[in-house]
């Protein structure tokens, strides 16, 4: 019998074929804390990054460039030392250059296995937590449009590697001073270095990366190098959630730091 008379064609745990338990779930802990915290954290990042992506200013303070605007490939990028402004798009593009490039890291994170779990739980409550029934009556998983597009994750991984390579180049350029002389080190250099280290750790801990490195092999004994790399990636992979958050925070901090210096609100302390 229908455990909730009056509800039309119930699905999931409310389906007549399931045990007729009146409670929606049997958890007694504060299970809602994790999805609520996740949703709040992601929302804060979305609000911050939207503001910065559309700001179209204060993203370069020689020698530092914000990771939100790198590579800067539009004609309207501010001039940067060392050729970090790549005019490959032409003058027809008049919006913020960040919008051209953020598609790739955004696509990478949106389709990430961890973030999928995070926003399915945090925003869609599908399901909100382990052993808590979701409110939706129908479930098709990721088998239909648009969620089937989550399968593009592997391709976003390739782009993410390219973007990480370019941010590494930016971090190297941060060792030059505003006049182009090598040997500079300021607080901004350390901020960009910490950020790129976390970006690489997050990117290499990706599940797709783990499969690319060690998947589709019949046996590891004939592929010792790939086995070793797979072991390293697997160790990072075990920390994927932590790295996802750490790199999300670091990329926002790096951008905010450049914003503060570029807008004149803060003077970059110089060590060398
Ligand atoms: Fe998270 Fe690939 S699974 S980045």
Instruction: Look up the ipTM and state it.
Output: 0.99
Radius of gyration of the chain (CA): 23
What is the structure's pLDDT at 5?
A: 47
Ligand 1 centroid to residue 115 C-alpha, Å? 8
Which among 270, 4, 32 has a CA at the least distance from the CA of 129? 32
Tell whether the model's pLDDT for residue 8 goes beyond 70. Answer: no
Ligand 1 centroid to residue 102 C-alpha, Å? 16
Which among 136, 115, 114 has a CA at the least distance from the CA of 124? 136
> 150, exposed or middle or buried, with CB in 10 Å at 0-12, 13-18, 19+?
middle
Ligand 1, atom nearest to 157 Cα: 2
| Model confidence pLDDT, tens digit, residues 56-104 | 999 999 999 999 999 999 999 998 876 667 888 888 999 999 999 999 9
Which among 261, 199, 269, 266 has a CA at the least distance from the CA of 58? 261
Tell whether the model's pLDDT for residue 243 goes beyond 70. Answer: yes
Ligand 1 centroid to residue 210 C-alpha, Å? 10
Better pLDDT: 41 or 22: 41
pTM: 0.91
Average pLDDT, stretch 233-261? 98
Ligand 1 centroid to residue 13 C-alpha, Å? 30
69 lines ligand 1 (CB under 6 A): no
| Model confidence pLDDT, tens digit, residues 10-26 | 666 777 787 888 788 88
As a whole-number percent, the residues of the chain with pLDDT over 90 amount to: 77
Better pLDDT: 218 or 10: 218
**152: pLDDT confidence band, cut at 50, 70 and 90?**
very high
Ligand 1 centroid to residue 147 C-alpha, Å? 16
Ligand 1, atom nearest to 112 Cα: 1
Ligand 1 centroid to residue 240 C-alpha, Å? 8
CA distance 121 to 35: 6
**Sign of the dihedral defined by the CA atoms of residues 254, 252, 162, 231, in that order:** positive
208 lines ligand 1 (CB under 6 A): yes
Dihedral angle of Cα 233, 65, 106, 215, to the nearest 10 degrees? -20
Establish how many alpha carbons lie within 13 A of residue 198's alpha carbon, considering only the half-sphere containing its beta carbon.
21
| Model confidence pLDDT, tens digit, residues 154-207 | 999 999 999 999 999 999 999 998 888 999 999 999 999 999 999 999 999 999
Ligand 1, atom nearest to 209 Cα: 2
What is the structure's pLDDT at 12?
A: 67
207 lines ligand 1 (CB under 6 A): yes
**4: pLDDT confidence band, cut at 50, 70 and 90?**
very low
């Amino acid at each position: 019998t229908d455990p909730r008379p009056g509800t039309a064609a119930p699905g999931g745990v409310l389906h007549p074929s399931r045990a007729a338990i009146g409670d929606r779930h049997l958890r007694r802990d504060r299970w809602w804390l994790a999805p609520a915290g996740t949703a709040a954290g992601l929302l804060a990042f979305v609000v911050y990054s939207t503001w910065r992506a559309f700001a179209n200013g204060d993203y370069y303070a020689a020698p530092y460039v914000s990771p939100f605007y790198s590579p800067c490939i539009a004609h309207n990028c501010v001039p940067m030392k060392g050729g970090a402004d790549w005019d490959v798009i032409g003058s027809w593009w008049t919006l913020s250059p960040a919008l051209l490039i953020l598609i790739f890291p955004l696509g990478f994170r949106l389709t990430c296995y961890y973030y999928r779990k995070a926003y399915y739980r945090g925003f869609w409550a599908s399901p909100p937590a382990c052993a808590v029934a979701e409110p939706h009556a129908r479930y098709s998983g990721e088998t239909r449009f648009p969620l089937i597009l989550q399968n593009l994750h592997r391709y976003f991984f390739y782009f993410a590697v390219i973007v990480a390579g370019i941010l590494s180049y930016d971090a190297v350029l941060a060792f030059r001073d505003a006049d182009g002389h090598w040997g500079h080190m300021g607080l901004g250099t350390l901020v960009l270095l910490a950020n790129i280290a976390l970006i690489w750790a997050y990117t290499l801990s990706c599940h797709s990366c783990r499969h690319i490195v060690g998947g589709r092999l019949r046996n590891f004994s004939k592929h010792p190098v790939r086995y070793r790399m797979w072991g390293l990636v697997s160790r990072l992979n075990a920390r994927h959630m932590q790295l996802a958050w750490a790199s999300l925070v670091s990329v926002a901090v790096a951008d905010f730091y450049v914003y503060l210096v570029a807008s004149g609100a803060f003077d970059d302390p110089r060590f060398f």
